[in-house]
Structure 1
């Protein structure tokens, strides 16, 4: 298995950070949305983002330098109640 070049590793790290922020925003915004179609679309985005992050993280193992990847995800608060973890 070949290692990624340093600039590729940084690009991948930036993509993981960006996708993580997008996931967090979509998941948290679901609590503010009342339209069921939009909420379903946002849930689909969350599921696709989780899949993309899983794939990106597996590629991250090829980086010559790594930062630890957190195993837990934020717990959203929806309607004043703590929801289940995003996994």
Structure 2
């Protein structure tokens, strides 16, 4: 199967929307880590942060094939409280 070297514009927009959503999810999980006291929940949130970070990296690599690009911030949210 041929893999296109460039995404269609609608595919790029869809990936950009998913990137925005995953970034918001990452920020929420990172923030919530500082607010919870249950260690199991904190561990789940930490795992979610790690998995979401990997997902974002994979989506960014795919987004490189977009015919147009908007910059994706490199910074990642960190928990406000430890």
- The TM-score normalised by the length of structure 1 is 0.85
Give the superposition deviation at 1:49. 0.2
Q: What residue is the counterpart of 1:12 in the other structure?
A: 15
Greater relative contact order (CA < 8 Å, ≥ 6 in sequence): 2
Structure 1 runs not aligned, ≥5 long: 80-87
- Work out the CA distance in 1 between the residues paired with 2:76 and 2:41: 23
The SS at the match of 1:65 is coil
- Work out the CA distance in 1 between the residues paired with 2:75 and 2:29: 17
Q: What residue is the counterpart of 1:73 in the other structure?
A: 76
Q: What residue is the counterpart of 1:26 in the other structure?
A: 29
Contact 2:15 2:63 in 1 (8 A): yes
Query: Structure 1 residues 21, 12: closer, same or farther in 2, change over 3 A?
Result: same
Query: Structure 1 residues 51, 77: closer, same or farther in 2, change over 3 A?
Result: same
Q: What residue is the counterpart of 1:54 in the other structure?
A: 57
Count of aligned pairs = 79
Structure 2 runs not aligned, ≥5 long: none
Structure with the higher strand share, 1 or 2: 1
- The TM-score normalised by the length of structure 2 is 0.90
